[in-house]
Amino acid sequence: MEGIRVVLLAAGVGSRLVPLTNSWPKCLMPIHGQPLLEYWLSTLHSIGIKHILINTHHHAEIVNSFLARKRFVGWIKASHEIDLLGTAGTLIQNAEYLSGYRTILIHADNWCQCNFSQFVKYHIDGRPTNSVMTMMTFRTSSPHSCGIVELDEFGVVHSFHEKVTNPPSNLANGAVYMLEPSVIDWILERKNLRDFSTDVVPQFIGKIATWENEGTHRDIGTLTSLLAAQSDTAPTRYWDNPDSWEIEFRSNPIHQQLSAINV
Protein backbone atom coordinates (compact mmCIF):
# COMPACT_ATOMS: atom_id res chain seq x y z
CA MET A 1 0.00 0.00 0.00
CA GLU A 2 1.74 3.10 -1.24
CA GLY A 3 1.39 6.40 0.58
CA ILE A 4 1.06 4.77 4.01
CA ARG A 5 3.58 4.74 6.85
CA VAL A 6 3.16 2.73 10.06
CA VAL A 7 4.46 3.52 13.53
CA LEU A 8 4.50 0.57 15.93
CA LEU A 9 4.96 1.82 19.48
CA ALA A 10 7.11 -0.86 21.09
CA ALA A 11 9.38 0.98 23.52
CA GLY A 12 7.41 0.58 26.75
CA VAL A 13 9.02 -0.70 29.93
CA GLY A 14 6.12 -3.01 30.79
CA SER A 15 6.11 -2.37 34.53
CA ARG A 16 2.83 -4.29 34.99
CA LEU A 17 4.47 -7.38 33.49
CA VAL A 18 7.27 -7.60 36.03
CA PRO A 19 9.02 -10.03 36.61
CA LEU A 20 8.75 -11.08 32.93
CA THR A 21 9.95 -7.71 31.64
CA ASN A 22 13.01 -7.74 33.90
CA SER A 23 14.71 -9.86 31.25
CA TRP A 24 12.51 -9.64 28.13
CA PRO A 25 10.78 -6.76 26.26
CA LYS A 26 7.01 -6.40 26.44
CA CYS A 27 6.64 -6.17 22.66
CA LEU A 28 8.19 -9.63 22.22
CA MET A 29 6.11 -11.45 24.83
CA PRO A 30 5.06 -14.83 23.42
CA ILE A 31 1.49 -15.65 22.45
CA HIS A 32 1.07 -19.22 21.28
CA GLY A 33 4.87 -19.39 21.20
CA GLN A 34 5.37 -16.43 18.82
CA PRO A 35 6.44 -12.88 19.78
CA LEU A 36 3.58 -10.38 19.79
CA LEU A 37 5.49 -8.03 17.48
CA GLU A 38 5.86 -10.82 14.92
CA TYR A 39 2.07 -11.08 14.64
CA TRP A 40 1.82 -7.35 13.97
CA LEU A 41 4.55 -7.41 11.33
CA SER A 42 3.08 -10.41 9.53
CA THR A 43 -0.37 -8.77 9.51
CA LEU A 44 0.98 -5.56 8.04
CA HIS A 45 3.23 -7.29 5.52
CA SER A 46 0.34 -9.48 4.34
CA ILE A 47 -1.67 -6.42 3.25
CA GLY A 48 1.22 -4.81 1.41
CA ILE A 49 2.56 -2.33 3.96
CA LYS A 50 6.15 -1.52 2.96
CA HIS A 51 7.24 1.18 5.41
CA ILE A 52 7.18 0.54 9.17
CA LEU A 53 8.92 2.39 11.97
CA ILE A 54 9.34 0.77 15.38
CA ASN A 55 10.50 2.77 18.38
CA THR A 56 12.78 1.04 20.88
CA HIS A 57 13.92 1.72 24.42
CA HIS A 58 13.52 -1.07 27.00
CA HIS A 59 15.74 -4.07 26.16
CA ALA A 60 16.46 -2.37 22.84
CA GLU A 61 19.33 -4.75 22.07
CA ILE A 62 16.92 -7.71 22.12
CA VAL A 63 14.39 -5.93 19.91
CA ASN A 64 17.16 -4.93 17.50
CA SER A 65 18.25 -8.56 17.28
CA PHE A 66 14.68 -9.56 16.47
CA LEU A 67 14.42 -6.87 13.76
CA ALA A 68 17.78 -7.75 12.18
CA ARG A 69 16.34 -10.96 10.73
CA LYS A 70 16.44 -11.34 6.93
CA ARG A 71 12.64 -11.27 6.60
CA PHE A 72 12.52 -7.72 7.97
CA VAL A 73 15.40 -6.17 6.04
CA GLY A 74 14.51 -3.25 3.81
CA TRP A 75 11.03 -2.39 5.07
CA ILE A 76 11.40 -1.85 8.80
CA LYS A 77 13.19 1.05 10.49
CA ALA A 78 14.05 1.23 14.20
CA SER A 79 14.01 4.55 16.04
CA HIS A 80 15.79 4.37 19.39
CA GLU A 81 14.70 6.58 22.30
CA ILE A 82 17.30 7.05 25.01
CA ASP A 83 14.53 8.52 27.13
CA LEU A 84 10.91 7.68 26.39
CA LEU A 85 9.37 10.49 24.34
CA GLY A 86 5.71 9.62 24.79
CA THR A 87 3.40 8.41 22.04
CA ALA A 88 3.05 11.86 20.44
CA GLY A 89 6.73 12.62 21.01
CA THR A 90 7.69 9.61 18.89
CA LEU A 91 5.72 11.06 15.97
CA ILE A 92 7.43 14.42 16.41
CA GLN A 93 10.90 12.86 16.50
CA ASN A 94 10.18 11.05 13.23
CA ALA A 95 8.60 13.99 11.42
CA GLU A 96 10.69 13.61 8.26
CA TYR A 97 9.67 9.95 7.90
CA LEU A 98 5.94 10.63 8.37
CA SER A 99 5.26 14.05 6.90
CA GLY A 100 2.97 13.93 3.85
CA TYR A 101 1.86 10.33 4.41
CA ARG A 102 -1.19 8.67 5.84
CA THR A 103 0.04 7.14 9.09
CA ILE A 104 -1.15 4.08 10.99
CA LEU A 105 -0.29 4.44 14.67
CA ILE A 106 -0.34 1.21 16.67
CA HIS A 107 0.26 0.55 20.34
CA ALA A 108 2.14 -2.72 19.85
CA ASP A 109 1.11 -4.16 23.22
CA ASN A 110 -2.31 -4.86 21.68
CA TRP A 111 -3.01 -8.48 20.76
CA CYS A 112 -5.22 -7.78 17.77
CA GLN A 113 -6.70 -10.26 15.33
CA CYS A 114 -9.08 -8.83 12.72
CA ASN A 115 -9.43 -8.14 9.01
CA PHE A 116 -6.89 -5.34 9.11
CA SER A 117 -7.18 -4.60 5.41
CA GLN A 118 -10.85 -3.73 6.00
CA PHE A 119 -9.83 -1.26 8.70
CA VAL A 120 -7.51 0.46 6.22
CA LYS A 121 -10.10 0.31 3.42
CA TYR A 122 -12.74 1.88 5.67
CA HIS A 123 -10.46 4.79 6.46
CA ILE A 124 -9.58 5.39 2.83
CA ASP A 125 -12.98 4.81 1.20
CA GLY A 126 -15.71 4.56 3.82
CA ARG A 127 -15.25 6.98 6.69
CA PRO A 128 -17.38 10.17 7.01
CA THR A 129 -15.89 12.90 4.84
CA ASN A 130 -15.33 15.37 7.69
CA SER A 131 -13.21 12.91 9.71
CA VAL A 132 -9.42 13.00 9.63
CA MET A 133 -8.69 9.98 11.79
CA THR A 134 -10.09 6.47 12.21
CA MET A 135 -9.92 4.81 15.63
CA MET A 136 -10.19 1.06 15.99
CA THR A 137 -12.66 0.18 18.74
CA PHE A 138 -13.61 -3.06 20.48
CA ARG A 139 -16.06 -4.34 23.09
CA THR A 140 -14.40 -4.75 26.47
CA SER A 141 -15.41 -6.78 29.51
CA SER A 142 -13.73 -4.22 31.82
CA PRO A 143 -14.84 -0.77 30.60
CA HIS A 144 -13.69 0.97 33.79
CA SER A 145 -10.08 0.20 32.85
CA CYS A 146 -10.30 1.47 29.26
CA GLY A 147 -10.91 4.65 27.32
CA ILE A 148 -14.61 4.48 26.41
CA VAL A 149 -16.04 6.30 23.39
CA GLU A 150 -19.53 7.53 22.59
CA LEU A 151 -20.49 7.87 18.94
CA ASP A 152 -22.95 9.88 16.88
CA GLU A 153 -25.24 8.31 14.26
CA PHE A 154 -22.38 8.28 11.74
CA GLY A 155 -19.96 6.41 14.01
CA VAL A 156 -17.93 9.52 14.80
CA VAL A 157 -16.60 10.05 18.33
CA HIS A 158 -18.48 12.78 20.20
CA SER A 159 -17.34 11.92 23.75
CA PHE A 160 -14.33 10.18 25.25
CA HIS A 161 -14.08 8.86 28.82
CA GLU A 162 -10.64 7.75 30.00
CA LYS A 163 -10.86 5.07 32.73
CA VAL A 164 -13.87 6.48 34.59
CA THR A 165 -15.74 4.79 37.44
CA ASN A 166 -19.09 4.57 35.68
CA PRO A 167 -18.40 4.31 31.93
CA PRO A 168 -21.41 4.89 29.66
CA SER A 169 -20.80 1.75 27.55
CA ASN A 170 -18.29 -1.00 26.82
CA LEU A 171 -17.12 0.36 23.46
CA ALA A 172 -13.42 1.01 23.99
CA ASN A 173 -10.60 2.78 22.20
CA GLY A 174 -8.36 0.07 20.77
CA ALA A 175 -5.30 2.37 20.52
CA VAL A 176 -4.92 1.65 16.80
CA TYR A 177 -5.39 4.70 14.58
CA MET A 178 -5.15 5.68 10.94
CA LEU A 179 -4.34 9.35 10.49
CA GLU A 180 -4.61 11.71 7.57
CA PRO A 181 -1.46 13.76 6.82
CA SER A 182 -3.19 16.84 8.27
CA VAL A 183 -3.17 15.21 11.72
CA ILE A 184 0.58 14.66 11.50
CA ASP A 185 1.00 18.29 10.38
CA TRP A 186 -1.07 19.46 13.37
CA ILE A 187 1.11 17.45 15.76
CA LEU A 188 4.34 18.70 14.23
CA GLU A 189 3.25 22.30 14.77
CA ARG A 190 3.06 21.62 18.52
CA LYS A 191 6.46 20.41 19.65
CA ASN A 192 5.47 20.15 23.33
CA LEU A 193 2.98 17.31 22.84
CA ARG A 194 3.78 14.05 24.59
CA ASP A 195 0.83 11.66 24.82
CA PHE A 196 -1.35 10.88 21.80
CA SER A 197 -4.40 9.76 23.80
CA THR A 198 -4.53 12.75 26.14
CA ASP A 199 -2.89 15.54 24.12
CA VAL A 200 -4.12 14.76 20.60
CA VAL A 201 -7.32 12.68 20.58
CA PRO A 202 -9.42 15.18 22.62
CA GLN A 203 -8.55 17.94 20.14
CA PHE A 204 -10.18 16.01 17.29
CA ILE A 205 -13.50 15.08 18.89
CA GLY A 206 -16.12 15.25 16.14
CA LYS A 207 -13.53 14.33 13.48
CA ILE A 208 -12.64 10.79 14.58
CA ALA A 209 -14.33 7.98 12.67
CA THR A 210 -14.47 4.51 14.22
CA TRP A 211 -14.13 0.93 12.99
CA GLU A 212 -15.08 -1.84 15.39
CA ASN A 213 -12.83 -4.88 15.66
CA GLU A 214 -15.23 -7.77 16.17
CA GLY A 215 -12.38 -10.26 16.46
CA THR A 216 -9.76 -10.52 19.20
CA HIS A 217 -8.48 -7.37 20.89
CA ARG A 218 -6.54 -7.37 24.15
CA ASP A 219 -4.03 -5.10 25.81
CA ILE A 220 -1.48 -7.66 27.02
CA GLY A 221 0.09 -5.13 29.40
CA THR A 222 -0.96 -7.09 32.50
CA LEU A 223 -0.04 -10.61 33.54
CA THR A 224 -3.70 -11.63 33.65
CA SER A 225 -4.35 -10.42 30.11
CA LEU A 226 -1.15 -11.92 28.71
CA LEU A 227 -2.08 -15.28 30.19
CA ALA A 228 -5.63 -15.02 28.84
CA ALA A 229 -4.26 -14.37 25.33
CA GLN A 230 -2.67 -17.81 25.34
CA SER A 231 -6.18 -19.30 25.14
CA ASP A 232 -7.32 -17.15 22.23
CA THR A 233 -7.46 -18.65 18.76
CA ALA A 234 -4.04 -18.55 17.15
CA PRO A 235 -3.78 -17.19 13.60
CA THR A 236 -2.25 -19.18 10.76
CA ARG A 237 1.52 -18.73 10.50
CA TYR A 238 2.52 -16.19 7.87
CA TRP A 239 6.19 -17.09 7.43
CA ASP A 240 6.44 -20.82 6.82
CA ASN A 241 10.11 -21.50 7.38
CA PRO A 242 11.54 -20.78 10.84
CA ASP A 243 14.83 -18.86 10.84
CA SER A 244 17.68 -19.11 13.33
CA TRP A 245 16.22 -16.39 15.59
CA GLU A 246 12.92 -18.25 15.86
CA ILE A 247 14.56 -21.59 16.49
CA GLU A 248 16.62 -20.06 19.30
CA PHE A 249 13.54 -18.29 20.68
CA ARG A 250 11.75 -21.62 21.15
CA SER A 251 14.13 -22.43 23.99
CA ASN A 252 14.10 -18.95 25.54
CA PRO A 253 13.40 -19.04 29.31
CA ILE A 254 10.54 -16.52 28.86
CA HIS A 255 8.23 -19.39 27.88
CA GLN A 256 8.83 -21.24 31.14
CA GLN A 257 8.60 -18.02 33.15
CA LEU A 258 5.25 -17.24 31.58
CA SER A 259 3.94 -20.74 32.23
CA ALA A 260 4.98 -20.48 35.87
CA ILE A 261 3.07 -17.24 36.50
CA ASN A 262 0.13 -17.66 38.87
CA VAL A 263 -2.26 -14.70 39.08
Residue 195 has pLDDT above 80, yes or no: yes
* Confidence category of residue 59, pLDDT binned at 50, 70, 90: very high
Higher pLDDT, 141 or 39: 39
Please tell me the distance from the alpha carbon of residue 263 to that of residue 47, in angstroms, as a whole number. Answer: 37
Q: Give pLDDT, residue 171.
A: 94
- Classify burial at 38, counting beta carbons within 10 Å of its beta carbon; exposed 0-12, middle 13-18, buried 19 or more: buried
Q: Give pLDDT, residue 240.
A: 84
Query: What is the DSSP secondary-structure string of 68-134?
Result: TSGGGTTTEEEEE-SS---HHHHHHHTHHHHTTSEEEEEETTEEEES-HHHHHHIIIIIS-TT--EE
- Taking every pair of Cα atoms in the chain, the longest distance, rounded to a whole number of angstroms, is 51
Nearest to 28 by CA among 182, 190, 245: 245
Residue 71 has pLDDT above 90, yes or no: yes
The CATH topology of domain 4-142+172-260 is Spore Coat Polysaccharide Biosynthesis Protein SpsA; Chain A (3.90.550)
Q: Give pLDDT, residue 162.
A: 81
- pLDDT > 90 fraction of the chain, expressed in percent and rounded: 86
The DSSP call for residue 229 is H
Q: Please give the average per-residue pLDDT across 191-211, as a whole number.
A: 94
Q: Please give the average per-residue pLDDT across 193-207, as a whole number.
A: 94
Span 84-119, pLDDT tens digits: 999 999 999 999 999 999 999 999 999 999 999 999
Q: Give pLDDT, residue 246.
A: 96
Nearest to 254 by CA among 13, 81, 57, 24: 24
Please tell me the distance from the alpha carbon of residue 240 to that of residue 243, in angstroms, as a whole number. Answer: 10
What is the pTM assigned to this prediction? 0.96
Q: Give pLDDT, residue 83.
A: 95
Q: Please give the average per-residue pLDDT across 129-149, as a whole number.
A: 92
Please tell me the distance from the alpha carbon of residue 93 to that of residue 184, in angstroms, as a whole number. Answer: 12
Q: Give pLDDT, residue 62.
A: 98
Nearest to 18 by CA among 48, 56, 45, 58: 58
Residue 42 has pLDDT above 90, yes or no: yes
Question: How far, in whole angstroms, is CA 131 from its chain's centroid?
Answer: 21
* Collapsed DSSP state (helix, strand, coil) of residue 232: coil
* Confidence category of residue 168, pLDDT binned at 50, 70, 90: confident
Higher pLDDT, 37 or 160: 37
Q: Give pLDDT, residue 161.
A: 86
Secondary structure of 147-214 in HEC code, one letter for each residue: EEEEECCCCEEEEEEECCCCCCCCEEEEEEEEECHHHHHHHHCCCCCCCHHHHHHHHHCCCEEEEECC
* Confidence category of residue 60, pLDDT binned at 50, 70, 90: very high
Residue 150 has pLDDT above 90, yes or no: yes
